[in-house]
Structure 1
Amino acid sequence: MAIKLKKSYKFSFRSSLFITLLSSIVMGLTLYAFGIFNPYVILICAIVIYAFSFFILQYRVEKFIYRRVKRIYDDVSLLESTTFQNQPITTDMATLTREIEKFAKDKKVEIETLKVREAYRKEFMGNVSHELKTPLFTVQGYILTLLDGAMENEALRDKYLQRAEKGVERLIYIVKDLDMITKLEVGDLRLDYEDFDIIELIRNVFELFEMKSAKKNITLTFDMEYEKPVYVYADKERIQQVLTNLVVNSIKYGKKGGTTEISIENLIKNKVIVRVTDNGEGIEKQNIPRLFERFFRVDKSGSRKEGGSGLGLSIVKHIIEAHDEKIYVESVYGVGSEFSFTMEKAK
């Protein structure tokens, strides 16, 4: 690739002017001393001296600066800076300064981002370890107890095997959820779009958790009587998973005798918004920005007693965003929470 030089002549122009003036003065005084002073000779010599000085200085300074600037470009290119690789080498100091400053700012942002990611990675690995360790140790404990002689007791054997089975189920649940999040993040999970009635789907979810909600005397209901179906265009199975996770969360953190209410509203011509509202314990303001992080739990101890993988809301967010839609959360601590997400209407 041809190298394009952006030249600045200020230095050479001024330096040549100083050299010419000094040379002309010395020459004039010398000629005057010998009595052969001739202004025309001095003028011609001054022009020649200026021309030679200018071209020699310009060539030498340009080459001197270029060698050092090129070394800077080469060093920066080793860091795989696409900005510098795509730029022609210039000896203009102002341009180079701007590019170096921009490069430094970009690298600073990259370093800060890497630090945040590293902190997140450490936290994530710690959470994964903790979530997997608990059921693993539980299963191991029951199996070792059985091997140590408890197997002879039929009642104790059945009890411990059932508890070990629950531990294995939780492990499978966590692994499945992690696998789904990974696929959603890298775009490997294919969405099967279809037209379906969202009202009917919500009723099915209510029926699935009717017994679970009854244990806490929580009412699952619509905000009004929907006499006509509301058709949307999405992956029915994934949207059911979204609703399932949100309803399970509202039951888990809901108060006894409380309510989980779902409403569907028209937004614009081709969009609806689904709201899942409860009057449970609510979420403190500082915890809301982290709600959709993997394994983040508002109540570390209480939520683990309720079970689950700690990945529910993260999965919800990824599924909705995979549909190119938005999810929102509003909550007042001690009053309740509302999760809402948009969907495209069926054509």
Structure 2
Amino acid sequence: MQKIKKTYKFAIKTALYISISLTLLLSVFLYVIEILNAHVLLFGVLCYFICFFIIQYRVERFIYRRVKKIYDDLTLLESTSLTKQPITTDMATLTKEIDKYAKDKKLEIETLKIREEYRKEFIGNVSHELKTPLFTVQGYLLTLIDGAINDKKIRDKYLNRANKGVERLIYIVKDLDMITKFEAGDLRLNFTTFDIVELIKSVFDLLEMKAAKKKITLTFDANYKKPILVNADMERIQQVLTNLIVNSIKYGREKGTTEISIENLIKNKVIIRITDNGEGIAETNLARVFERFYRVDKSGSRKEGGSGLGLSIVKHIIEAHDEKIYIESELDVGSEFSFSLEKAE
């Protein structure tokens, strides 16, 4: 049974008090003039109902004006809802809505603070990433301007190093441009059907020399004799595989292993796993590894090079395919990155 609204309780009690008071007053008056009869009871009943409706109407209008003012002051609340239902007689409804409004605003403020911190960190990272190659290029050019250009050996050496610095700048800018396009939805995917096994083998061939420098073995977990056809953007998936395998080599152990497995996830999905026995990632860093420029080991990663955007690009490409990417890692044990793709019919 629904509880009686507080304004009705107020109106009932107030009307009763007024009716009893007026009836007693009238009774005393009629008794004095000796005309007291049964009509006094009828007067009391009529007086009660008249008082009840007048008081209830006046209280509702009073509360309505106060509630309307609160709604108008808090412009984000829907004041139009006042005309749709009689919430003006239920102060609990208003209290709940204001509490909800306050919680939403608190959450919004906290979100803005987090975004502001992220923005500051991101700008600092971009500044650092661009500053390092810029100063390097500037240093080599200034040395050449100061007279080293006349020495052919030094000139060629410094121009070559300056060129590498410019290539690094271009690499960073291109990666940033790609991420921006993915976020804006401007980068279209070219879906085709291809054999994921053959694509992985071609990436192995491309990175064979890089892996050989650290004596890292690139291998499959099994002998995949039959093609495994998937439906995706072949060029982008090649970029995903390249970035993930390069990452495993970069942080892999000397004479380590980078292993790739392909498994059926569900009827129309496969999952590709890239597993290494490298440095691994601490649990506290796992949630942030896909952020732009976020580095688990800043000094080590800078020594190895790269734009610091590889994993962020990987995540954007996979999500653009409406797929998921996962990471499991244990410090000093190794890491496993995995992502799903749609199987071709």
Deviation of 1:303 after TM superposition, in Å, equals 0.4
Do the aligned partners of 2:328 and 2:335 also contact (CA within 8 Å) in 1? yes
Deviation of 1:120 after TM superposition, in Å, equals 1.1
Give the structure 1 partner of residue 314 of structure 2. 316
Is 1:88–2:82 an aligned residue pair?
Answer: yes
Give the structure 1 partner of residue 34 of structure 2. 35
> What letter is aligned with 1:16?
A
Deviation of 1:165 after TM superposition, in Å, equals 1.0
Secondary structure at 1:244's aligned position in 2? helix
More moved, 277-286 vs 145-154:
145-154
Give the structure 2 partner of residue 298 of structure 1. 296
Secondary structure at 1:260's aligned position in 2? strand
Could you tell me how far apart the structure 1 residues matched to 2:190 and 2:324 are? 19
Aligned length: 337
Give the structure 2 partner of residue 327 of structure 1. 325
How do 1:67-106 residues align onto structure 2 when only pairs under 5 Å count? 67-77=65-75, 79=76, 81=77, 84=78, 87-89=81-83, 90-91=87-88, 92-106=90-104
Could you tell me how far apart the structure 1 residues matched to 2:275 and 2:79 are? 53
Give the structure 1 partner of residue 172 of structure 2. 174
Give the structure 2 partner of residue 114 of structure 1. 112
Could you tell me how far apart the structure 1 residues matched to 2:333 and 2:47 are? 89
Give the structure 1 partner of residue 14 of structure 2. 15
Is 1:243–2:237 an aligned residue pair?
Answer: no
Instruction: Extract unaligned runs of 5+ from structure 2.
Output: none
Using the aligned pairs only, state the percent identity: 69
Could you tell me how far apart the structure 2 residues matched to 1:115 and 1:34 are? 79
Secondary structure at 2:336's aligned position in 1? strand
Deviation of 1:190 after TM superposition, in Å, equals 0.7
Could you tell me how far apart the structure 2 residues matched to 1:337 and 1:72 are? 55
Deviation of 1:215 after TM superposition, in Å, equals 1.0
Could you tell me how far apart the structure 2 residues matched to 1:86 and 1:189 are? 42
Secondary structure at 2:266's aligned position in 1? coil
Could you tell me how far apart the structure 2 residues matched to 1:99 and 1:159 are? 70
> What letter is aligned with 2:13?
R
1:216-235 CA distance string (max 9 Å, x none): 11111111222111111000
Could you tell me how far apart the structure 1 residues matched to 2:34 and 2:299 are? 107
Instruction: Extract unaligned runs of 5+ from structure 1.
Output: 1-5
Is 1:153–2:170 an aligned residue pair?
Answer: no
Give the structure 1 partner of residue 270 of structure 2. 272
1:127-152 CA distance string (max 9 Å, x none): 11111111111111111222222212
2:48 to 31, 47, 50: 50
Could you tell me how far apart the structure 1 residues matched to 2:40 and 2:142 are? 109
1:196-243 CA distance string (max 9 Å, x none): 011111111111111111111111111122211111100000000000
Give the structure 1 partner of residue 182 of structure 2. 184
> What letter is aligned with 1:101?
D
TM-score, normalising length: structure 2? 0.93
How do 1:275-290 residues align onto structure 2 when only pairs under 5 Å count? 275-290=273-288
Could you tell me how far apart the structure 2 residues matched to 1:205 and 1:8 are? 75
Deviation of 1:191 after TM superposition, in Å, equals 0.8
RMSD of Structure 2 on Structure 1 (CA): 1.7
> What letter is aligned with 1:87?
S
Give the structure 1 partner of residue 24 of structure 2. 25
Q: Are residues 85 and 236 of structure 1, via their aligned partners in 2, closer, same or farther at CA, if it must alter by over 3 Å? A: farther
Deviation of 1:321 after TM superposition, in Å, equals 1.1
1:77-119 CA distance string (max 9 Å, x none): 2x4x4xx256334312122122212222222222221121111
Could you tell me how far apart the structure 1 residues matched to 2:93 and 2:266 are? 49
Do the aligned partners of 2:7 and 2:59 also contact (CA within 8 Å) in 1? no
Could you tell me how far apart the structure 1 residues matched to 2:79 and 2:178 are? 39
Deviation of 1:161 after TM superposition, in Å, equals 1.1
More moved, 46-55 vs 199-208:
46-55
Could you tell me how far apart the structure 1 residues matched to 2:91 and 2:252 are? 65
1:60 to 58, 61, 64: 58
1:293-337 CA distance string (max 9 Å, x none): 111111100100111111111111111111111111111211111
Q: Are residues 98 and 214 of structure 1, via their aligned partners in 2, closer, same or farther at CA, if it must alter by over 3 Å? A: same
Deviation of 1:34 after TM superposition, in Å, equals 3.5
